[in-house]
């Protein structure tokens, strides 16, 4: 395991309750979207913010290696029993991936970029580690296009971050990928009515950029 780097991340209470929360979410449209999306995973995979390992059961035979990136030691404790053989855990943030340039085929960004402290840096790291024919599989809740909901997300941002272990409901993830040179045409918006604060999501497959930013 790589030693922790960057700001300390520790949310013991959230980590204890997250598996129960996740079961309900995975039983609905987020779970079905995740399963369909991860069918495209292949080669060397980096799972950003691996949490308790919700992505891992959906990785198929086309995956040759797994790097699980999770900065919170309390999550890592729950993640470890769920790892496939040969998987490596890196207890670091997404902003400082301990992997060589152009060494990864697939990056999983699922319910992760809302919590990273520097999303622009995280997306730059995703780009750095991707091979030229690599891909990012995205499933993230984002700032709403509905002005009323967006205003509510901004008002509730700080208490929501406290409740959700750093989760930020006002992230514009599509813009972050576009700023790093990704073609975001492959992202589509979906609506999840049962999650009022995080109702709007983006999902899809992003190919690695081919031109310099």
Do the Cβ atoms of 194 and 28 come closer than 8 Å? yes
Do the Cβ atoms of 37 and 203 come closer than 8 Å? yes
Strand ranges for 78-172 from DSSP E: 88-90, 104-110, 130-141
Residue 27 is predicted with a pLDDT of 72
Residue 18 is predicted with a pLDDT of 64
pLDDT means per 10 residues in the chain (213 residues)? 42 60 75 95 97 94 97 90 94 95 98 92 97 98 92 84 75 96 96 83 95 51
Residue 6 is predicted with a pLDDT of 41
- Written as six digits, the tokens of 37 are 């999306």
Output the CATH code of domain 12-207: 3.40.50.150
Residue 205 phi/psi, 5-degree rounding, is: -110, 125
CB atoms within 10 A of CB 199: 18
Residue 195 is predicted with a pLDDT of 76
- Written as six digits, the tokens of 87 are 């998987």
Residue 7 is predicted with a pLDDT of 45
Residue 1 is predicted with a pLDDT of 32
């Amino acid at each position: 395991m790589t030693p922790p780097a960057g700001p300390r991340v520790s949310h013991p209470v959230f980590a204890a309750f997250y598996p129960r929360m996740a079961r309900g979410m995975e039983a609905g449209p987020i779970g079905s979207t995740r399963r369909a999306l991860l069918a495209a995973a292949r080669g060397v995979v980096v799972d950003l913010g691996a949490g308790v390992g919700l992505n891992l059961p959906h990785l198929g035979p086309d995956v040759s290696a797994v790097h699980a990136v999770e900065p919170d030691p309390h999550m890592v404790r729950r993640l470890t029993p769920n790892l496939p053989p040969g998987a490596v855990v890196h207890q670091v943030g997404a902003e400082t991936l301990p992997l060589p340039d152009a060494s990864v085929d697939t990056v999983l960004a699922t319910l992760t970029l809302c919590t990273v402290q520097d999303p622009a840096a995280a997306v730059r790291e995703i780009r750095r580690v991707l091979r030229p024919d690599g891909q990012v599989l995205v499933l993230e809740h984002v700032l709403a296009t509905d002005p009323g909901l967006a205003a509510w997300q901004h008002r509730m941002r700080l208490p929501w971050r406290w409740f959700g272990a750093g989760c930020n409901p006002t992230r514009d993830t599509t813009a972050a990928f576009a700023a790093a040179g990704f073609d975001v045409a492959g992202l589509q918006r979906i609506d999840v009515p049962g999650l009022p604060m995080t109702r709007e999501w983006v999902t899809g497959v992003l190919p690695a950029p081919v031109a310099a930013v």
